[in-house]
Amino acid sequence: MTDAATTPSLVSARQLDMRFGEVEVLKGIDLDIASGQFVSIVGPSGCGKSTLLRLIAGLADPVAGSLSIAGLPPPEARRTRQDLAFVFQDATLLPWRTVEQNVALPLDLSQRQRRTDALSVPQALVLVGLSAFARSYPRQLSGGMRMRVSIARALVTHPGLLLMDEPFGALDELTRQRLNEELLRLWTQIGFTCVFITHNVAEAVFLSQRVLVMSARPGRWLAEVPVPFPCPRDPHLRTSPAFNHLAEEVSHHLHRKGP
């Protein structure tokens, strides 16, 4: 699945295969994501979406094919560029650290505060609207607030590439929609590249410039659906006929059995 734009790819994969033992997880994945794009990936459970994200992050190695981040192997890109951040479905906050201490964790671990392009912790908290809770502990926050802390912790490193693995999957629909809007605002403001995994078709369409649809295991691309809506996106977009038509198109591809 390649991007027709002329912008050089930040993420590039060719004929990527992945298996665990005898289980084939990904097969023949081609992928191009240009710098600054917001791309969502949808597919059935177990199809390899999260595995693909881990490969991009350099947390695992493919068994075949090529994968690069800005022309570098993912482990090398993660080590040398230091501008890749990962947000998981669970906020994974340290309960004994305050909000500001949790957000500062990547800086503490890598001494990133010496970089001129890194955000300060107060700046990151302003971006996610949690300045008033800087000295609170995770147990004092709602689920949506804890996820915003997790996003601030990723943003404090000023990532060029933000990988998000179903970050809002455990939240109620109203909180999910509000965080979708906040995430789009941050993407528009900061300009990072985002690869977003979700099971929620409406979420994928609302957030993305492109929605990639993956088959059941072994994961292959079934379709790419361009999303033409400009940003910023009004919350009322979700009720428009054009939005619903696009969501139906993604759902149609999602329920196909094969190419």
Those residues whose C-beta lies under 8 Å from the C-beta of residue 76, and which sit 6 or more positions away, are 58
Judge whether 34 lies within some domain: yes
Question: Who's near 4: CB < 8 A, 6+ residues apart?
Answer: none
Domain annotation covers residue 215 = yes
- Residue 242's domain is classified under what CATH number? 3.40.50
Top pLDDT among 230 and 4 is at 230
CA angle 213–83–1, rounded 5-degree value: 20
Residue 247 domain-assigned?
yes
Could you tell me the residue range of the domain that residue 212 belongs to?
A: 1-80+208-259
Six token digits for residue 225 = 């659906």
The string of pLDDT tens digits covering residues 202-233 is 999 999 999 999 999 999 999 999 999 999 89
In a domain, 186, yes or no: no
Structural domain contains residue 44: yes
Query: Three-class SS of residue 249?
Result: helix
- Is residue 259's pLDDT more than 70? no
Distance in Å from the first CA to the final CA of the chain = 13
The average pLDDT across 130-144 equals 95
Please enumerate in sequence order all residues whose Cβ is within 8 A of that of 116, keeping only pairs 6 or more positions apart, or say none: none
**Which 8-state DSSP code applies to residue 119?**
P
From the number of C-beta atoms within 10 Å of its C-beta (0-12, 13-18, 19+), residue 169 rates as middle
Distance CA 218, CA 65 (A): 15
Residues 6 or more apart whose Cβ sits within 8 Å of residue 109: none
Angle between helices 173-190 and 143-155 (to 10 degrees): 20
Q: Sheet harboring 38-42: ordered strands across?
A: 84-87, 161-165, 193-197, 38-42, 210-214, 221-226
Indicate whether 99 belongs to any domain: no
What value does the mean pLDDT of the chain take? 90
* For range 112-132, the mean pLDDT: 78
pTM as predicted = 0.92
Domain count across the chain: 1
